[in-house]
Amino acid sequence: MTHPAPRSTVTDPPWVRRLLISIALVFLGLFLVVPLATVFVEALRKGVSAYGAAIREPVALAAIRLTVIASFSALALNVIFGIAAAWAIAKFEFVGKQLLITLIDLPFSVSPVVSGLIYVLLFGLQGWCGPWLFAHNIKIIFAVPGIILATTFVTFPFVARELIPLMHSQGTEEEQAAVSLGANGWQTFWRVTLPNIKWGLLYGIILCNARAMGEFGAVSVVSGHVRGRTNTIPLHVEILYNEYNFVAAFAVASLLALLTLVTLVAKAIVEWKVRQESQSHEN
Amino acid sequence: MKSFRFKQHSVLPGFGLALGFTVFYLSLIVLIPLSATILKTTALTWTSFWHTVTSPRAMASYRLSFGASAIGAAINAVFGLVVAWVLVRYRFPGRRIVDALVDLPFALPTAVAGIALTAIFAGNGWIGQWLEPLGIKIAFTRLGVVVALTFIGLPFVVRTVQPVLQDVSAELEEAAASLGASRWQTFTKVILPSVGPALLTGFAMAFARAIGEYGSVVFISGNMPLKTEITPLLIITKLEQYDYAGATAIAVALLAVSFSLLLVINLLQWWSHQRNGGV
């Protein structure tokens, strides 16, 4: 986004500018900066060694491992889905396209708690498939597969939603040229489409990953909270907090806060890259 | 007569595979589990479903969830407009950092936000210690719920209003100014009507997000039934008591509200596009 220079005939008096900038900064400072700073201040309240000890604890490490496994699984599934959905929706005209786009966005409007509940009702012991799964000794709810499913659900639209408008705006001419020159489908995708969408794809992956690693409500419903086995980082934070072990809770939470900062920086860089790319396309 | 065709002809390959996989995966992860949940309520009779979703405890939770979400979204509508205005119209040091920071509530895990806000607003917290002597308690009260829901809805209004504000044509404002309108008149008569639909969309999005929110609220609200218990928490409580039918009934009521809001938001977005000449 390039911003036009402020126009002299329609600018506000200096006192209005100063007042509005102050209001905006105080509001954002109170609601964004103070909470973020609090996480790190509370985490380091008893020094660096207490901080390190909280993070190196075996159950904390197990939670980190599970979070990485669950979010990478969800990410892989949603990237494959996002590319397939964007290819079908952006490159072809067919009946029911708008409905399909709406359905893909559906998980964003479902409460995280309900997102977890739907899998409990399907795979839990009281659920539709529960007795069959129990008879075959397959555990989904209160186990890792349930956590992966719930994480996949809440991050479902991220990649598709980034790619659909991007691929749509790029049109199909380059792909048509590749096909008419004799490239097959995969060659067209790998050599023409993928290089064009790489930054948009990365953007979707960054957002998807941040949400997947931090998901709390949905995972909390399906996890069963078994320490060291089905606890993700956010659930581990909750347990520590409820045990009044505040320093450890904030120490583990600070890992997620760091991830947030990395996400915001990466997001800003990728947005800048996308802008550059679309400008060079236009020229 | 033109025969009905599901798909227009294209030389590109892979349509069948891509669409087939999309529909299969969408059904597996989203549509079947959601439908199964709604079907599950048919195990209840209509009277027992109604009895569950209108029980005093459920009604109290709706009042809190809807009320606090509406207040949070209204706070965000006012301050979000100011933030969007400042970011689009003014130049000041650190503007880009502030712009990037607005997305923080999207990226910060809700549980982390929850414990941080609780620490700040508790009686001995950074801000709580100044408010407590004034008789204002935020943590573990309904005000705490409002604070958490304001936090998580913050980016919506800013991000929906920002692009529209950028596109408000300079000529319109200049015309208003040259016809003798004061700056305030230009704002209320020219600028506000053009960002109105986007502002409403942002409000509705923040409201919809807040209704379902769980992670940031459970820490700061006292979680007292009938007083500070939000609807998503009531679902969890019922699940923990193995009341699957009750949890499902309230979840379906919440889903109905969420989907209605989704419809409203889509209509608002459509209206907003019409207003601004469509993009």
Q: What is the pLDDT of residues B58-89, one digit of tens each?
A: 999 999 999 999 999 999 999 999 999 999 98
Q: Is residue B16 part of a domain?
A: no
Cα→Cα distances A114→A265, B160, B249, B252, Å:
31, 26, 11, 9
Domain boundaries, position B93: 55-275
**What is the pLDDT, as a whole number, of residue A226?**
76
B10: part of which helix (H) or strand (E)? none
Tokens of A100: 């399909």
B224: part of which helix (H) or strand (E)? none
Tokens of A17: 């500018």
Kindly state the DSSP code that residue B41 receives in the 8-state scheme: G
Q: Is residue B20 part of a domain?
A: no
Mutate: best of A110, A125, A128, A186, partner B, most B CBs <10 A: A110
3 state DSSP class of B182:
coil
Percentage of chain B lying above the pLDDT 70 cut: 97
Nearest to A249 among B100, B115, B151 (CB): B115
Which range (A82-91, A255-264, B8-17) has the least confidence?
Answer: B8-17
CB atoms within 10 A of CB B45: 9
Q: CA of A259 to nearest chain B CA: how many angstroms apart?
A: 8
| In contact, B53 and B248? CB cutoff 8 Å | no
Mean pLDDT of chain B: 91
Tokens of A252: 């583990």
CA distance B273 to B277: 6
Q: Is residue B271 part of a domain?
A: yes
Q: Is the pLDDT of residue B122 over 70?
A: yes
Q: CA of A196 to nearest chain B CA: how many angstroms apart?
A: 16
Q: Is the pLDDT of residue A242 over 80?
A: yes
Q: Which of A69, A80, A32 is nearest to A212 (CA)?
A: A69
Q: Which of A262, A253, A258 is nearest to A60 (CA)?
A: A253
Task: Please give the average per-residue pLDDT across A207-212, as a whole number.
Answer: 94
Task: Work out the pLDDT band at B187, boundaries 50, 70, 90.
Answer: confident
Q: Is residue B113 part of a domain?
A: yes
Mutate: best of A97, A108, A117, partner B, most B CBs <10 A: A117
Nearest to B26 among A104, A172, A265 (CB): A104
CA distance A241 to B171: 55
Residues of chain B numbered 199-238 and touching chain A (CB < 8 Å): 208, 211-215, 219, 232-233, 235-236
Task: Please give the average per-residue pLDDT across A61-74, as a whole number.
Answer: 96
Do B110 and A214 lie within an 8 Å CB cutoff? Answer: yes
Check if B183 contacts A (Cβ < 8 Å).
yes
Place of tokens 């009260």: B141
Do A112 and B25 lie within an 8 Å CB cutoff? Answer: no
Residues of chain B numbered 96-115 and touching chain A (CB < 8 Å): 96, 98, 100-113, 115
Task: Please give the average per-residue pLDDT across B241-247, as a whole number.
Answer: 91
Complete DSSP assignment for B57-126: HHHHHHHHHHHHHHHHHHHHHHHHHHHHHHHHH---TTHHHHHHHTTHHHHS-HHHHHHHHHHHHSTTST
CA distance A218 to B220: 19
CA dihedral for A171, A177, A180, A182, sign (positive or negative)? negative
**What is the pLDDT, as a whole number, of residue A71?**
96
| In contact, B268 and B201? CB cutoff 8 Å | yes
Q: Is the pLDDT of residue A5 over 60?
A: no
Task: Work out the pLDDT band at B224, boundaries 50, 70, 90.
Answer: confident
pLDDT tens for residues A81-125? 999 999 999 999 999 999 999 999 999 999 999 999 999 999 988
Helix A112-123 and helix A144-154, axial crossing angle in degrees, nearest 10 = 140
Q: Is residue B114 part of a domain?
A: yes
% helix / strand / coil in chain A, to the nearest 5? 80, 0, 20
Spatial CB neighbours of B153, under 8 Å, sequence gap ≥ 6: B69, B72, B73, B76, B105, B205, B206, B207, B209, B210
Q: Is residue B130 part of a domain?
A: yes
**What is the pLDDT, as a whole number, of residue A2?**
46
| In contact, A272 and A250? CB cutoff 8 Å | no
CB atoms within 10 A of CB A31: 20
Q: Which of A243, A245, A221 is nearest to A232 (CA)?
A: A221
CA distance A60 to A228: 8
Do B11 and A257 lie within an 8 Å CB cutoff? Answer: no
**What is the pLDDT, as a whole number, of residue B120?**
95
> In the beta sheet, which residues pair with residue A94?
B7
Domains defined for chain A, CATH in brackets: 48-282 (1.10.3720.10)
Q: Is the pLDDT of residue A191 over 90?
A: yes
Task: Work out the pLDDT band at A258, boundaries 50, 70, 90.
Answer: very high
Check if A81 contacts B (Cβ < 8 Å).
yes
ipTM reported for the complex, 2 dp: 0.91
Give me the amino acid identity at A248.
A
Do A153 and B91 lie within an 8 Å CB cutoff? Answer: no
Q: Is residue B31 part of a domain?
A: no
Do A118 and B174 lie within an 8 Å CB cutoff? Answer: no
CA distance A244 to B21: 47
Spatial CB neighbours of A22, under 8 Å, sequence gap ≥ 6: none
CA A77 distance to own-chain centroid: 13
Q: Is residue B93 part of a domain?
A: yes
**What is the pLDDT, as a whole number, of residue A6?**
45
> In the beta sheet, which residues pair with residue B7?
A94
Check if A219 contacts B (Cβ < 8 Å).
no
CA distance B152 to B217: 10
Q: Is the pLDDT of residue A1 over 70?
A: no
The count of structural domains within chain B is: 1
Q: CA of A32 to nearest chain B CA: how many angstroms apart?
A: 7
Spatial CB neighbours of A102, under 8 Å, sequence gap ≥ 6: B262, B266
| In contact, A231 and A63? CB cutoff 8 Å | yes
Q: What CATH number has the domain bearing residue B247?
A: 1.10.3720.10
Q: CA of B6 to nearest chain A CA: how many angstroms apart?
A: 5
Task: Work out the pLDDT band at A58, boundaries 50, 70, 90.
Answer: very high
Tokens of B151: 């936090």
Task: Work out the pLDDT band at B269, boundaries 50, 70, 90.
Answer: confident
